[in-house]
Amino acid sequence: MKVTGVKVTPFAHDLPTRSRSTRAMDAGTSCVVELSSDAGVSGIGVACCTNGAQIDNLVQHVLKGEDPRGIAGLWQRMVNLQAKRTHGEPCHEAIAVLDVALWDLKAKREGQPLWKTLGGSRPRANACASLTDAALDEAQVSAWFERMAHDFGLRAGKLRLGLDPDKDLQRLARTRAALSRAVAPPTLAIDLGQSWPTDATIRNIRDMEQEFDLAWVEGACDSSNVAGLKQISNAISAAVSVGRGLGVGEFLPHFQHRSADVIEIDIGRVGITGALQIADAAFGYELPVTLTAAPGNIHAHLAGVMPSFMSLEVLDPASASRLWASEVRIEDGWAIAGDAPGNGLSVK
Amino acid sequence: MGDCRGCTRERIERQVKITGYRVEQYLMKMDRLVGDANLPSGVEMLPGSILFLDTDENVTGISLGYGGGIESLFGVIEGADPREVVALWMRMNDYLHKGGNEGAASAALSAIDVALWDIKAKLADEPLWKTLGGTAGRVKAYASGLDYCLSDEELFAFYRRMAELGIDSGKLKVGLDLAADMRRLDIMREALSIASPRPGLMIDSNEYWSPKQAVRYIRQMEKHFDLLWVEEPARRWDYDGLRLVSQQVRAAVASGENLHNLAQVYPLIANRAVDVINVWAGQSGVTGLRQIARMAHAHGLEVTMMNAQADYMAQIAAALPNHNMMEVVDPGREHCLKWHSHIEDGFIVLSDAPGFGIEVDAAKLKDLQANPPTGRGKFPFPRREGAGRYIVPPQPGEVPWR
């Protein structure tokens, strides 16, 4: 089996809840990537950014004519190519979406769902409803989490805070009440979007912790601020989660300085191959792993092969667009990857 | 690749199931003695074992080198789909929670995991290096004589034979006699010099020294030799000692072959104690060694694969992005094996045969079991007197070179 070419189709995404904090969902435009092969099947990936030229370039220079099964080596070649670039925009997202498409091809060749090709034994993954729109009012927050609990059984919720500490407390109360329809007590996590200076972050989280049991905090401060993250972790009960936007090599200081209590992995940034590498390294430190939201919720496939997997982020349980659909469904609080060959993404 | 999509697609219709296993044990007489600082007189007898893991798809997974204790774990995977190998690894690891993935249990887990990967690749009708994501079925090799028991002439002959295959690096067993070790290092260099004007030189003392003994010994050698790495210059768990050696000598420090899972390797990586990590399938299987390699990769560390019967572990090494070169000993351990790799231009070249590409010659195995060979010594090597405290040089008659 050989890669023969690629088709990139941009689209304006029409997500019901527009993201304010998740880089991946923020661009407003996305693209569907179809990697064609000489075996008549295509590998599909969806990227939350439009960089058709970079994708074309990588396919022409690295992937064309290659066997998609050599995916670990191909990923490394693409990363090495990026590392040698001395000008132009970084192409992390382009590499990541091509890696997703390659894994899709590899699984389709075997006629297996991706989760089984990866070596997993069950298609389901513990999921967390994530509300990233900080502009919604309290009634809208309640309504959204009630729907997540009632319709999808989600027992964990994460919400974007960090604007007004008093309002944050009210929003947390709304979230807990809404999710209590599914389970009591629900798991609560927050994303502060790096809004506050370190001392204010500690003060405000401690205030929240007077009333709420927080499982983890994302965006506590800048991902590169190892000392700040460690200081925050030492001062609060909740786990400090780190990783959004980081490349594989950029996790190293957090491992070495124990500045992360939870490792956050985004397949839109590091691909599936990079995600597996980071997850095994995190397992070495016994650090729990979360997976950042992915279009079509295809990150559900990965959970079963990550020994310290904790939770995956769901922005939209019915993640799809006019152009593509996904087999992954959310039921009883689990993301279930399904049995269709590949990652379950299909182009309409 | 041939058209195998049809056949694999049919298999998808139902789960593949693990149905049973069988362990065959036997004894081998190698072509020559192998020995290190702990047993410089060497051994030529090697116990062999092969695990056969059966499925309802008429595909059998093979695992070489360890066969005991399978019954204690088989119940955990019986009836499961072998293609779910990573999850089955986690299931076995969780099952061993209380006693730990250690000792005999770890060896059994490793053997099962290797056989499961063999099955997974065979079901996909591809070599394992492809299943694991490798782009090329080739792995750079280095020669390792396990040579403390060889005469100077035999030593030269071994490394020259390897150099004729294009292998340009070698690892010498050392530790008991500085003057002899330096003389023999020069012999190894000379033998390898037809493959490279600057052969890669490594030494291995198999934990015979204390950290400070290692520093003194290695610094003496480094006055005359540029060493790539020194292996096990201190105890396997002693991250302070290993780091001390690494900081005080020019060469890199390698260790890890006697650790059996990521949890045991973790202190070495987290404390920056080693520069190169020795990996092999006994570290909780393909899945476990890949975890170690990936954690090492995240820390910018290289890994090097241990020697193996028929070089079977090259299949795994070919898919590791941070693998440097694999140990080749070639003492003659393939009596009842058929394999498809070869060494060319200094690389182990793998074929497209499915799985590990190893087949067992049943008649020869039966013959070995019925007529066990006899010879000198037998694995394993016990630790030598004086280790870590004072050096007991080879006694008269213990080695041919003294």
List CB contacts (< 8 A) between A273 and chain B: 133
CA A201 – CA A84 distance, rounded (Å): 38
User: Average pLDDT over chain B, rounded to whole?
Assistant: 94
pLDDT (average), residues A219-230? 95
Output the six-digit token pair for B321: 């992005």
What pTM did the predictor assign?
0.90
The yes-or-no verdict on residue B400 having pLDDT over 70 is: yes
pLDDT (average), residues B17-26? 97
Contact across the interface for A69 and B126, Cβ inside 8 Å: yes
Of A110, A118, A256, nearest to B124 by CB-CB distance is A110
List CB contacts (< 8 A) between B133 and chain A: 69-75, 273
Interface residues of A toward B, Cβ cutoff 8 Å, are: 1, 39, 66-67, 69-77, 109-112, 116-122, 248-249, 251-252, 255-256, 273, 276-278, 280-281, 283-285, 304-305, 307, 341
Q: Which has more confidence, B27 or B378?
A: B27
Q: Give the least confident one: A28-37, A168-177, A239-248.
A: A28-37
Which band of pLDDT confidence, cut at 50, 70 and 90, is reported for residue B124?
very high
The yes-or-no verdict on residue B304 having pLDDT over 60 is: yes
List CB contacts (< 8 A) between B93 and chain A: 307
Read off the pLDDT of residues B221-277 as tens digits, 9 standing for 90 and up: 999 999 999 999 999 999 999 999 999 999 999 999 999 999 999 999 999 999 999
Q: Which has more confidence, B281 or A82?
A: B281
What residue spans of B231-340 are helical by DSSP H? 239-248, 262-270, 285-298, 314-317
pLDDT (average), residues B369-394? 91
Closest CA to A296 of A270, A335, A339, A245: A335
pLDDT (average), residues A251-276? 95
* Chain A closest-CA separation from residue B270 CA (Å): 6
List CB contacts (< 8 A) between A121 and chain B: 80-81, 84, 87-88, 91
Cβ neighbors of A139 (< 8 A, separation 6 or more) are none
Contact across the interface for B80 and A121, Cβ inside 8 Å: yes
What residue spans of B249-400 are helical by DSSP H? 262-270, 285-298, 314-317, 362-370
Which band of pLDDT confidence, cut at 50, 70 and 90, is reported for residue A76?
very high
List CB contacts (< 8 A) between A255 and chain B: 270, 298-299
Residues A164, A169, A171, A173, Cα dihedral to 10°: 180
Closest CA to B296 of B272, B326, B331: B272
Contact across the interface for A72 and B132, Cβ inside 8 Å: yes
User: Average pLDDT over chain A, rounded to whole?
Assistant: 91
Read off the pLDDT of residues A93-111 as tens digits, 9 standing for 90 and up: 999 999 999 999 999 999 9
Contact across the interface for A111 and B291, Cβ inside 8 Å: no
Output the six-digit token pair for B110: 């490793």
Q: Tell me, what's the pLDDT at A83?
A: 74
Q: Tell me, what's the pLDDT at B378?
A: 75
Q: Tell me, what's the pLDDT at A86?
A: 58
Percent with pLDDT over 90 in chain B: 92
Phi, psi for A265 (deg, rounded to 5): -120, 130
List CB contacts (< 8 A) between A249 and chain B: 298, 300
Read off the pLDDT of residues B138-166 as tens digits, 9 standing for 90 and up: 999 999 999 999 999 999 999 999 999 99
Question: What is the three-class DSSP state of B183?
Answer: helix
pLDDT (average), residues A160-187? 93
Read off the pLDDT of residues B169-205 as tens digits, 9 standing for 90 and up: 999 999 999 999 999 999 999 999 999 999 999 999 9
Residue matched to tokens 């768990």: B237
CA A156 – CA A148 distance, rounded (Å): 9
Of B8, B81, B88, nearest to A111 by CB-CB distance is B8
pLDDT (average), residues A130-156? 93
The yes-or-no verdict on residue A17 having pLDDT over 80 is: no
pLDDT (average), residues A146-163? 95
Percent with pLDDT over 70 in chain B: 97
Q: What is the ipTM of this complex?
A: 0.83
Read off the pLDDT of residues B84-106 as tens digits, 9 standing for 90 and up: 999 999 999 999 999 899 989 99
